[in-house]
Amino acid sequence: MNLATENWQSIRETSTRRIAKWRQDFPILSTEVNGKPLVYLDNGATTQKPKTVIDAERAYYEEYNANVHRGVHTLSQRATDAYEGAREKVRKFINAPSSDEIIFVRGTTEAINLVAHAFGRSQIGRGDEIIVSTMEHHSNIVPWQMLCQETGAILRVVPINDAGEFLFDEFEKLIGPRTKLVGIVHVSNALGSVNPIKRIVDLAHSKNIPVLVDGAQAVAHLKVDVRALDCDFYAFSGHKIFAPTGTGVLYGKRAILERMPPYQGGGDMIRSVSFSKTEYNVIPYKFEAGTPNIAGGICLGVALDYVTSIGMDEIASHEHELLEYATNAIKKIPGVRLIGTAKEKGGILSFIIDGIHPHDIGTILDHQGVAIRAGHHCAMPVMERFCVAATARASFAFYNSFADIDTLIDGIHKVKEILG
């Protein structure tokens, strides 16, 4: 089925030429699934890896595998230089003032747990309040609930409207003298809504409240500048930005990180240890106990080089075109309801079809070679807000094409034919 109008036709031709070379960098994109060419639309769950990243992982193990920060030998020096070089690449990518403010973690989940433990348990007590929003991923809800349970602090929740937009006025009303932290997702994984982070930060800072941003669904899709946002913490996962799983970043402002106690104890996070007195290392190492994912960290740097070579503005504009095209097409299908229609949206299309379970949608699409996610997307409060148990979700990356969207739309018609 061809949904392109004349207008779309010219955008589409330019775009197809533009992404053809990017797609060649991802070996998996030319594989088949169930006898059909793979159409990968589950980038919200994890992104595919370019050959440069895969080669860098292999090169590390074949050429200079060694532990970091401890060996005088050549390989250890090389591994340390590459690992610390990656930290500097992350700094530059998000425009952080210093690489000391870049903490390597396992992913967004660990980054938020780190803040909940180290900041939360030292600065938040009984009766204090933490503000999150209805559209948070569980990883920006549960660590705070655990903290509240332990300390007697209270979790406050900013509601969202029917389009899935953050209600700023309600946020303003929730901020009070006991608010100790605001934790907000940059781009919602279940709805695609892009939140007004700078406005949120400005208001919170006017009352001296720090802000943590969950950037898991943002970094690979729009330009993130932590200095411009002025947020106190920014968390993201490497695997959602074309790097290996088990990698991620917590950015934190120096002053706040230096005041925080360590998260885990062990090697690397100390300056000296004795049974009478242990001194902790400086930031960021104070928060990086034990041998890290060295190859993963190095590859995160390589992935950031890769997206930088394309350009985040280029990526954002391509994904925006895909979203508009897909939204127009899906809206024309009778019985399909979009969940998440915010004015500011990233490349995420969550939907339901009357009378058909999202898992069945996912299964039938899979038979067509189309990978999407079906479920609650670890955002059960969002499902509750929209009175649905689950949604089907297509989530885009820069390597997705207009043809991918056509295959998705054809697949949805097939789902309706079979189960409707």
Our CB check for ligand 7TS shows the closer of 44 and 210 to be: 44
Distance from C-alpha of 399 to C-alpha of 395, rounded to nearest angstrom = 12
Q: How many CB atoms lie within 10 A of CB 246?
A: 17
Q: Mask: binding to ligand 7TS, 377-406, rule CB under 6 A, as x and -?
A: xx----------------------------
CB of 117 to ligand 7TS, least distance (A): 15
Q: Which of 117, 318, 373, 416 binds ligand 7TS (CB under 6 A)?
A: 373
Our CB check for ligand 7TS shows the closer of 128 and 136 to be: 136
Bridge partners of 395, per DSSP, are 42, 348
The tally of CA atoms less than 13 A away on the side-chain side of residue 317 is 10
Of all helices (H) and strands (E), which one includes residue 216? none
Stretch that binds ligand 7TS, among 26-34, 160-168, 210-218, 324-332 (CB under 6 A): 210-218
Tokens of 407: 């295959």
Q: Which of 12, 41, 107, 115 binds ligand 7TS (CB under 6 A)?
A: 107
Sign of the dihedral through C-alpha 90, 93, 99, 105: negative
What residues act catalytically? 378
Q: Mask: binding to ligand 7TS, 108-127, rule CB under 6 A, as x and -?
A: xx------------------
Residue 356 φ/ψ, nearest 5 degrees:
-125, 130
CB of 116 to ligand 7TS, least distance (A): 13
Q: What is the DSSP letter of 118?
A: I
CB of 26 to ligand 7TS, least distance (A): 19
CB of 195 to ligand 7TS, least distance (A): 11
CB of 380 to ligand 7TS, least distance (A): 12
47 sits near ligand 7TS (criterion: CB under 6 A): no
Our CB check for ligand 7TS shows the closer of 66 and 371 to be: 371
Tell me the Ramachandran region of residue 115: left when phi exceeds 0, alpha when psi lies from -120 to 50, beta otherwise: alpha
Q: Mask: binding to ligand 7TS, 129-168, rule CB under 6 A, as x and -?
A: --------x-x-----------------------------
Of all helices (H) and strands (E), which one includes residue 132? strand 129-133
189 sits near ligand 7TS (criterion: CB under 6 A): yes
Distance from C-alpha of 53 to C-alpha of 242, rounded to nearest angstrom = 8
221 sits near ligand 7TS (criterion: CB under 6 A): no
> Residue 395 class from Cβ within 10 Å (0-12 exposed, 13-18 middle, 19+ buried)?
buried
Stretch that binds ligand 7TS, among 288-296, 310-318, 370-378, 401-409 (CB under 6 A): 370-378
Q: What is the DSSP string of 8-51?
A: HHHHHHHHHHHHHHHHHT-GGGG-EETTEE-EE-BTTT-----H
Stretch that binds ligand 7TS, among 28-36, 101-109, 157-165, 296-304 (CB under 6 A): 101-109
Q: Which residues contact 6 (CB under 8 A, 6 or more apart)?
A: none
Question: What is the contact surface with ligand 7TS in residues (CB under 6 A)?
Answer: 44-45, 107-109, 137, 139, 185, 189, 214, 216-217, 237, 373, 377-378
